[in-house]
Amino acid sequence: MTIGVLALQGAFIEHRKALERLGVDTREVRLPEHLEGLAGLIIPGGESTTIGKLAVTYGLLEPIRAKAASGWPVWGTCAGMILLARDIGGLAQPLLGLMDVTIRRNAFGRQVDSFETWLDVPELGGDAPFRAIFIRAPLIERVGPGVQVLARLSDGAIVAARQRNLLVTAFHPELTDDLRFHRYFVRMTEEATKA
């Protein structure tokens, strides 16, 4: 099984290394032909407008959209979460538009307002909280009826969610040594492969 990491811009190397620590084969995705044979795809954090424009330039939006519509697992972290959303508050930028969520970009302010916090994420198993790193992070303002909320901040703001084969996190699990979110996504790909 091989999982792809969209490698147009952003923290793709860190995701690749996290998957490799779990013994998972990875492939950097830059062109549509790189999607062939993958069990799933991670869209990393970075700059969502830049990633979206490059995805359009390299012809990746439609193939990713089609594969995800057929049940192929896709995980978006930070900028990747923005790209997966159907609604980003009316801002004009290229989106995959797959997940029934409304996102607010840069919800916590600028780079200097980045922060870390501990989150309870029962879906990951166990009682240990997850250390979440937020860097110019978005948040989820609204979820549709088919969306499962996975984590909230102490004020109730939604920062992780799943809709069938789609997973989003406003934070950067790839910047920690905690592999539970990557393990969770690997399980999603394994389940989709068996289906």
- Which residues are designated catalytic? 78, 172, 174
Bridge partners of 166, per DSSP, are 74, 163
Residue 187 has phi, psi (to 5 degrees) of: -60, -40
Token digits of residue 52: 């979206």
C-beta of residue 139 within 8 angstroms of C-beta of residue 180: no
What is the CA angle 173-157-190, rounded to 5?
40
Angle between helices 12-21 and 180-194 (to 10 degrees): 80
The SS3 call for residue 85 is strand
Cα Rg of the chain (Å, integer): 15
